A and B are shown apart, each in its own frame.
Chain A
Amino acid sequence: MLTRLIFSSMRARALTVVLAILTIAFSVGLVLAVNVVRDGTKASFANTISNTDLIVGARSGSVQLMLYTIFQIGNPTNNISWDSVQAIAARPEVDWLVPISLGDSHGEFRVMGTSVAFFERYRYRGGQSIGLHQGAAFTGLYHAVVGSDVAATLNYELGQEIVVSHGLASFIDHDDRPFKITGILERTGTPIDRTVLISLESMEVIHRGWRPGAGSPTGPEPAMAELQPKEVTAALVGIGSRLDIFNVQRWINTYPGEPLLAVLPGLTLQELWQFIGVAEDALRAVSLMVVGAALLGMIAVIFSGLNERRREMAILRAMGARPGVVFGLLLLEAVIMAGAGCLIGAVGTYGLLYAARPLIDAHFGIWLPMQGPGPEELKLLGGVMAAAGLASIFPAARAYQLSLADGLSIKN
C-alpha cells in the first residue's frame, strides 16, 4: 500500500516528476553519449594502424612523424633517401618494408605513392587488412586506387580519369598525366579512406623533369625499372621477431648516412592520445557538471513538492508512521525518479547511438564500440541514484522538522 501511495503521489504531481525524470535522463544520456563517443574515438584512433612495427622518416618529432605519415596531418619536414630505405630493407631482422611518398593532392584529399605491398601490409583494427570494394590494386603507371571517402565525396567510379595536383591545396595540376581509377577501397574508418593511392613509380614519373607551368618533358615513357625514386617520405617496417624491434629502431636512429627517426606506432599513438586526452577530460568534466545540475534540479523538484506534501507527511505521522518510514518513502521516491531517469537516459542514448552508428561511421569514420554500459558507466548510474537518495534526505529531514500540528492544520 505504501508503494501504491508513492506512485499515486507521484501521479498527482505528474508534471514536475516527469520534468525531473527527463532532466536526469537527458544529463545521464549526455554523459553516456560522451563516453561512447570517447571510447569510439579512442578505439578508432588506436586502431588506425596495427601490425606495423616501426615507422621510419626524417628526423623530427615522433608525434609529428606519426601525424604526417598515418594521419595525414601536417607536412613532412624532410624526405629520406632511397639508399637509406634500401639499407633498412636489407637488414636481416626486417621482414617487410613499405615505402610511402607524400606531397601531392587531389582536391581535398592527399595522394600517397607506395608499393603494391601496402595493400597487404597495412593493417587496422587489430590486424584487419584493407580490402578492395571494387576493382584491383594498381599494376602500372597512371593507375590510382581511391579510398571510400574519396569515391563517395567525388562520386568516382572505376575507370574514371582523375588529375593529381602538385603539392597540397595547390592550383597546379599534373593535368598532362591523368590517372585512371583501377580500384575503390572498402571503408576502414582510418585516414586511408581519404587517400588516393598510386604507385611510387607513378609518383616518380609525374615529377621527373617536371617544372611548374611547363609540365613534363615530352617523349617516350620511361620503363618501370628506371623509375626508381631517389627519395621517399617515410617507410612502414615489419620486423620478423618482436625481440629485434628495439635493436632495429636503435640502428635506424643512429644511422650514419642521414638523420633518421624510427618510432613504434603503438607507443606514439599513446603519446598522441595524451594530447587529445586533455580534451577528453574537459568533455568528461562538462558532462559531470551536467549531471550535477540535473541532480540539483531533482532536489529542487523534491523540495518544491515538499510544501504540498507537508500535509501528506503529517498525516502519515499522525497515522503512526515512524520517521524511518517517512524518510524511506521520500528516499524510495527519489531513487525511483533517478532510476527512471537513468533507464530512459541509458536506453535512449544507446538506442539512438546504435541507430546512428552507420551514420557516424560514414560521416566521421568513428565506429562506436557499443558494448553497453561498462564499469565506468554503471558507476555513473549508481552514483546518480545514490546522489538522488542522498539528496532526498535533505527534504525528508525538513519534512520531519516541521511540527506535526503544523502539517495537520494546513487549510485546504
Chain B
Amino acid sequence: MSSSAPVLSLSNVVFSWDRHAHPIQIPNLVLDRGEKVLVLGPSGSGKSTMLGLVYGTLVPHSGRVTVAGQDITALSARRRDGVRAEHVGVIFQQFNLIPHASALDNVLLALRFAPQRRKRTPDPEDAARSMLADLGLPETDACRSAGQLSVGQQQRVAAARALIGSPELLVADEPTSSLDRANQNRFMDLVLSQALQQGSSILLVSHDERLAKHFDRVIEMGSGQSEDHMSC
C-alpha cells in the first residue's frame, strides 16, 4: 500500500436490500490518511448500510470500494474478512463483544488474525492493557468478562479493540448513542485523541449533529431513501 493512496474510497456504489427498495447510491466518498469524517443522517437514511459496504459485510451491486488501496468488492468473502481485520477497526453499534471472554481477550482478538496490526504491537497484552487504561477502563476490569461490564465500559472495550494495532481506518456506528451528553463528549475526545495519536482516519456515522465539532468534514445523508423503504 502506498502512503499516498486514500485510506478509503467509494465510487459509484449502488446497493439495495431488495429489488423493490430504492437503492442507496454513493457516487464518491474519499477519506485521506488521518482525516476525520462524520456522516450525519436520520435513522433509515442508509448510514449503517453504507458502513456495511465499507467494512465489507455488504457487497455493492455496482461500483468500487477500496480499503487501504485494495478493491474489496473484487475479493472473496474470506479475503474481505482479512482486509477488514488488517486495516479497519470497527466500533459496532451493539459493540459486538464476546460476552464470556475477558475485556483483554476481546481486545487481543483484533490482533489474532491481523498479522500487520500484530507486528505494530510488539507486546500485545501490554498494549491492550494500556489502551484500555487510556480509554478509562480500570485495570481491575480488564480481566472481567465483557458481559459483566457496564454499557459504558463495554463501549471502551469495543473502542480499544478497534484502535489496537493502529489500523489505517476507524469506523464507528453511533458509538455514543447509549451515553449521556457529558460521557459522550469525554468518550469522543478519548477515541479521537487515540486515533490522532496513531494516525488512523475516522469514519463515524451518527444522527447527532452535536458531534460535528470533533470532525474535519461532515457529510449529510438525505432521508429520501427511507420513505421509499417504508412503502410496501
Contact = CB atoms under 8 A, between A and B. Distances in A.
Contact of A320 (B85, B93, B100, B147): B85
Contacts of A405: 52, 57-58
B109 A1 contact: yes
Given A403-B57, A405-B57, A405-B58, A322 B81 contact: yes
A411 B90 CA distance: 17
B52 A319 contact: no
Given A317-B81, A320-B82, A325 B113 contact: yes
Interface string A111-130: 00000000000000000000
A410 interface: yes
B39 interface: no
B156 interface: no
Contact of A321 (B81, B92, B96, B108): B81
Nearest to B83: A320
B32 interface: no
B168 interface: no
Contact of B94 (A8, A317, A320, A409): A409
B94 A410 contact: yes
B145 interface: yes
Contacts of B110: 319
A321 B112 contact: yes
B22 to A, nearest CB: 19
Contacts of B57: 318, 403-405, 408
Given A1-B105, A8-B145, A404-B57, A322 B98 contact: no
Size class of the contact patch on chain A: 20 to 34
Contact of A12 (B52, B78, B99): B99
A2 B57 CA distance: 23
A5 B101 contact: yes
Interface residues of B, number: 31
B82 A315 contact: no
B56 to A, nearest CB: 8
Contacts of B36: none
Nearest to A10: B100
A8 B147 CA distance: 12
A23 to B, nearest CB: 23
| Interface residues of B, dominant DSSP | mixed
Contacts of B112: 1-2, 319-321
Interface in A267-313: 311-312
- Give the one of A1, A312, A405, A410 with max B CB within 10 A: A1
Interface in A10-34: 11-12
A4 interface: yes
A9 B77 CA distance: 25
Interface string B153-194: 000000000000000000000000000000000000000000
A312 B98 contact: yes
A258 B125 CA distance: 95
Given A1-B105, A318-B57, A320-B81, A8 B100 contact: yes
Given A315-B96, A317-B81, A319-B85, A5 B113 contact: no
A412 interface: yes
Contacts of B97: 315
B84 A11 contact: no
A323 interface: yes
Contacts of A311: 96
A408 B113 contact: no
A323 B105 contact: no
A321 B52 CA distance: 18
- Give the one of A2, A12, A315 with max B CB within 10 A: A315
A320 B114 contact: yes
Contacts of A314: 96
Given A2-B112, A4-B105, A320 B96 contact: no
A193 to B, nearest CB: 58
A344 to B, nearest CB: 23
B17 to A, nearest CB: 10
A12 B81 contact: no
Contacts of B113: 319-322, 325
Contact of A318 (B81, B86, B100, B102): B81
Given A4-B105, A8-B101, 4 more contacts: A317-B81, A320-B81, A320-B82, A320-B112
User: Which 3 pairs, one residue from A and one from B, show the smallest C-beta to C-beta distance?
Assistant: A320-B85, A320-B113, A12-B100
